[in-house]
Amino acid sequence: MKALVYHGPGKKAWEEKPRPAIQEETDAIVRIAETTICGTDLHIMKGDVPTVTDGRTLGHEGVGIIEKAGKSVMNFKKGDRVLISCITSCGKCEPCKKGMYSHCENGGWMLGNTIDGTQAEFVRIPYADTSLYHAPEKVSDDALCMLSDIFPTGFECGVLNGRIKPGDVVAIVGSGPIGLASLLTSKFYSPSEIVMIDVDDGRLEAAKELGATRTINSSDGNAADRVMELTDGKGVDVAIEAVGIPATFDICQSIIAVGGHIANIGVFGQSVDLHMENLWSRNITLTTRLVDTVTTSMLLKSVEAGTLHPERLVTHHFPLSDIQKAYDTFSRAKEEKALKVVLENK
């Protein structure tokens, strides 16, 4: 079979690899129908993720058809259409029993990280019973692919941890796919304002189309002042950090209202200054989280019911064999106006 294989920073190849086989009776082999590229994959390509070693097939998102199920797999059989969770979970360890599947002692983020991933014709999924979901018939591959990672991430780490309530003023710092997934799922709770902040006008335009009530381009460094003006000096009830750099975290802590929640999603590679001299008395909370994918079933139901349209984030389609071209497009997201780029194995 063909797979996109990592060969060290800046090096990847679409090459022939042996088809994965069942290793444990709890595994399933899935034939990929559609997969996508994540911002994390670009970090891997820069060499920022040392757990990914030479020879690894990339990718942790996707939808496909069960090719083979191990003997102890109870919930899935050959031919079932499945959504692959970016988080592999055994369902039996202590973190799993607390619902923190991202910290599963036998799983967590493995696909395209410590084991071969989904940017291939076939993938081996460990603990298939607890790491796969039956795909509802009428939900498209595009929509499903968005539920592997970005929608549970935006919803759990941003919206749920931010405890958005009806009438809240919400700011989302970062209008990339994850920020936009937070935007779409924040609407479940009817906030009165959703302010999107980013440095890219194209992405802010996309945010407006998806329901942002206001957008602010932060490239002049005055985004926090603008938010405070918009809110009569009160700030926002919920600030969602969806970038992961000191400047964007700083916006969040500068605009948070008394009693507000700062919900972090961003992957930070460096430390930030936490301004406790301003925040100590303001009754705020600050949360961090790795996506647990505990809301995948709920999100699937919302998509099936037509109340959530994750496929709206898909801007580009490529055949799986053109994945190198797709990476190139995704890495030049601004010029290409790319949000999510999907690869079809049809």
> Which parts of this chain interact with Zn ion (CB under 5 A)?
38, 40, 90, 93, 96, 104, 149
CA distances from 184 to 38, 53, 108, 301 (A): 18, 35, 25, 15
Angle at 139 between CA 311 and CA 110, to 5 degrees: 75
CB of 211 to Zn ion, least distance (A): 23
Question: Which residue, 146 or 256, has its beta carbon nearer to Zn ion?
Answer: 146
**Considering all CA atoms of the chain, what is the largest pairwise distance in Å, rounded to the nearest integer?**
62
CB of 291 to Zn ion, least distance (A): 9
Q: Which residue number is nearest to Zn ion in terms of Cβ?
A: 38
CB of 259 to Zn ion, least distance (A): 32
Beta strands in 254-295 (DSSP E): 256-264, 285-287
CB of 36 to Zn ion, least distance (A): 8
Structure-token pair, residue 183 = 């935007």
Query: Contact, 343 vs 35, CB < 8 A?
Result: yes
CB of 292 to Zn ion, least distance (A): 11
CB of 250 to Zn ion, least distance (A): 25
User: For the chain, how many helices (H) and strands (E)?
Assistant: 13, 15
CB of 37 to Zn ion, least distance (A): 9
Buried b (16+ CB within 10 A) or exposed e, 286-321: beebbbbbbbbeebbebbeeeebebbbbbbbebebe
3-state secondary structure of 153: helix
Q: Select from 137, 161, 157 the least CA-distant residue to 149.
A: 157
CB of 222 to Zn ion, least distance (A): 31
Instruction: Enter the DSSP assignment of 155.
Output: I
Question: Which residue, 152 or 235, has its beta carbon nearer to Zn ion?
Answer: 152
Question: Which residue, 141 or 149, has its beta carbon nearer to Zn ion?
Answer: 149
Query: Contact, 189 vs 164, CB < 8 A?
Result: yes
Question: Which residue, 66 or 157, has its beta carbon nearer to Zn ion?
Answer: 157
Question: Which residue, 146 or 308, has its beta carbon nearer to Zn ion?
Answer: 146
Question: Which residue, 58 or 173, has its beta carbon nearer to Zn ion?
Answer: 58
CB of 110 to Zn ion, least distance (A): 11
Beta strands 314-319 and 340-344, pairing class: parallel
Question: Which residue, 42 or 279, has its beta carbon nearer to Zn ion?
Answer: 42
Q: Select from 86, 124, 148 the least CA-distant residue to 300.
A: 148
Instruction: Enter the DSSP assignment of 231.
Output: T
Spatial separation of the C-alpha atoms in residues 89 and 87, rounded to whole Å: 6
Question: Which residue, 34 or 149, has its beta carbon nearer to Zn ion?
Answer: 149
Query: Contact, 177 vs 39, CB < 8 A?
Result: yes
Question: Which residue, 318 or 330, has its beta carbon nearer to Zn ion?
Answer: 330
